[in-house]
Structure 1
Amino acid sequence: MRDTLEALDAGEIGVAEAESRLAGYATTAAGRFDAAREGRRGIPEAILAEGKTPAEVAALTATAVETTGRALVTRTDADDAAAIETAMADLELDTADALDATVDHDERTGTIVVHAGDFEGPDLDATVAVVAAGTADAAVAGEAAVVAREIGATIDRIDDVGVANLDRILDQRDRIREADVVVVAAGREGALPTVVAGLVAAPVIALPVSTGYGVGGEGVAALEGALQSCSVLTTVNVDAGFVAGAQAGLIARAVDAAGRD
């Protein structure tokens, strides 16, 4: 505590960072930001843009960058991106340090990643393969990839290898087998995660996607198929790209730690 107070008094950190160190979170008008989550859980706190105004998203993003050096925002739109760009340009730190932030908005995945100029993220010696059955599944798969990458894993994206033509996935099996953990995003009947899990030794995370229509549409058949998989795998909820990416990232952290021992 004393070190934090002395750093605040010396102008080395700002009020938001001091609060986050002492309380584990920083308070804003838009809510509390869990600045200690990565240290406690190994997963960076993410800001879910859905249900928030662009101004609220931007305020939480600014607090995230102030306290942790980065922000990870999911389910965004163009208004959120514009508000964040403005907030980063207008942000005045309590210290003399320059922010010099970069804002990476991926419209397809709906993610925004902000890094302060001096931010150095984790670098794990582990690879996550993110496999998508079809182009329609790529957005949710991409969200998982962004999250796992921010945890520090190397990402290998493998797209458009659905079971309508098994040759497409069989052509990539050696590549997938090199990964330490595999996320497989698939909609419609959702058969691809089961197929992949039968081909590799690494843990497989099934990510059902809300593509498809009629009976079992909107991800229902894909979710139920993954839950009934005869190949061993783990299943997350429909369109839960963040959860799949975070779980894959945690496994990658364990792989990295085991390699260092």
Structure 2
Amino acid sequence: MEIRGLQRLIRPFRRSVPPESICLMSSPHRSHASQGEKARSRAPSSPLAVDHGIGPQCRRIGVHPARNAGMRELLEAVADGSLSPTQAEAKLKGYVTDDAGRFDAAREQRRGIPEAILAEGKSIQQVISLTELALETTDRALLTRVSDERFAALESALSESVPEATLERRYSTIRVVSPEYDSPSLDATVGIVTAGSVDAPVADEAHVVCADAGATVERIDDVGVAALDRTLDQVDRFRAADVLVVAAGREGALPTVVAGLVDTPVIGLPVSSGYGFGGDGEAALAGMLQSCTVLSVVNVDAGFVAGGQATLIARAIDAGRR
């Protein structure tokens, strides 16, 4: 009775635990594996596992590829100086740890979009340290909401620590690239549309993310619906893009109008440029969410999110064309 009671307790626990944990709980010498375990052992590894060259069994127990066949090569690379300890840590764990925080070096491989460093709310030293970690592990860094003060400090620090790096700035969005970075290329065009020039800083976050992924970025600025002729004059350019990010403040009508004119995905990006009742992007967000056209919407001022979503669509289009 005690054994049966224990089994009843364990059974739901095992069902709630992911396969990799179950694998660790199971003895490798069991010869009477269940059909489910046999099926899992025969199952192909995930795309991420294939990319790294690890097998199903290794994937099940959550072992990173570097801990499988590549551990010795990693150690030798660190020993001969061709790989830094930080780079080795990134390969082993997928992220690196510093006093400033943890940088997710494997996010782009896992998710298709790199981690961006949100400068707002961080100290200058945290911004500098995380940028240096990103450069060391991925050869480039993306930063959002970078103030003039933080940009000046970052530029000064990198001129000493990574003098060969290139800094590209669009308003408060920064891209830092080392000479070793191999820029990708996507056969896809992302249209970045703004209702007014005041919406440009937020739209630039989306611009930088899409351009960093290798997509062609077509900017169509200052075409708000207050003068509808200027909107309609751009219809051919709207339709030429594979995906559109449309940024607007105030009542946020532009994304709805654009989405009613094209057969491509449109991502509405509400901007906090409005004021008074419904200001700070609230009316823009509400209007886009209530759109009668087929429209996807991100949060207020979420330029990076809109750019990331457009990037994923652009990657899928590129894959189809190849």
Which TM-score bucket, shorter chain as reference? over 0.9
Output the TM-score relative to the length of structure 1.
0.94
Give the aligned residue type for 2:154: I
- 1:91 is the counterpart of 2:161: yes
Alignment match, 2:112: 42
Deviations 1:53-81 (A, max 9, x none): 11110000001000000000000012211
Is the Cα contact below 8 Å between 1:59 and 1:87 reproduced in 2?
no
Match of 2:93 among 8, 23, 31: 23
Deviations 1:17-65 (A, max 9, x none): 1100001101111000000001101101100001101111000000100
Deviations 1:104-124 (A, max 9, x none): 233x2x011100012112210
Spell out the pairing of 1:104-119 with structure 2 (5 A cutoff): 104-106=168-170, 108=171, 110-119=172-181
In structure 2, distance between residues paired with 1:81 and 1:63: 17
Output the TM-score relative to the length of structure 2.
0.76
Match of 1:73 among 143, 164, 185: 143
- 1:199 is the counterpart of 2:261: yes
Deviations 1:169-191 (A, max 9, x none): 11111011011100000000000
Moved more, 7-16 or 67-76: 7-16
Look up the SS of the partner of 2:183 in the other structure: coil
Alignment match, 1:101: 165
Look up the SS of the partner of 2:226 in the other structure: coil
RMSD of equivalent CA atoms: 1.1
Is the Cα contact below 8 Å between 1:151 and 1:246 reproduced in 2?
no
Task: Give the C-alpha shift of residue 150 in structure 1.
Answer: 1.1
Alignment match, 1:4: 74
Alignment match, 1:95: none
Give the aligned residue type for 1:212: G
In structure 2, distance between residues paired with 1:227 and 1:210: 15
Q: Name which structure has the greater RCO, CA cutoff 8 Å, separation 6+.
A: 1
Task: Give the C-alpha shift of residue 85 in structure 1.
Answer: 1.8
Task: Give the C-alpha shift of residue 126 in structure 1.
Answer: 0.4
Match of 2:204 among 142, 160, 165: 142
Is the Cα contact below 8 Å between 1:131 and 1:185 reproduced in 2?
yes
Alignment match, 1:96: none
Alignment match, 1:156: 218
Identity among equivalent positions (%) equals: 61
Look up the SS of the partner of 2:176 in the other structure: strand
Higher-Rg structure is 2
Give the aligned residue type for 1:152: G
In structure 1, distance between residues paired with 2:153 and 2:109: 28
Look up the SS of the partner of 1:239 in the other structure: coil
Alignment match, 1:55: 125
Is the Cα contact below 8 Å between 1:62 and 1:87 reproduced in 2?
no
Q: Hey, which bits of structure 1, 4+ residues long, moved more than 3 A? A: none
Look up the SS of the partner of 2:143 in the other structure: strand
In structure 1, distance between residues paired with 2:157 and 2:127: 10
Spell out the pairing of 1:209-228 with structure 2 (5 A cutoff): 209-228=271-290
Task: Give the C-alpha shift of residue 86 in structure 1.
Answer: 2.7
Match of 1:172 among 212, 230, 234: 234
Unmatched runs of 5 consecutive residues or more in structure 2: 1-65
In structure 1, distance between residues paired with 2:223 and 2:187: 26
In structure 2, distance between residues paired with 1:159 and 1:84: 29
In structure 2, distance between residues paired with 1:218 and 1:88: 35
Look up the SS of the partner of 1:112 in the other structure: strand
In structure 1, distance between residues paired with 2:75 and 2:313: 36
Q: How many residues align?
A: 252
Is the Cα contact below 8 Å between 1:44 and 1:151 reproduced in 2?
no
Moved more, 17-26 or 3-12: 3-12
Task: Give the C-alpha shift of residue 14 in structure 1.
Answer: 0.8
Task: Give the C-alpha shift of residue 82 in structure 1.
Answer: 2.1
Give the aligned residue type for 1:45: E
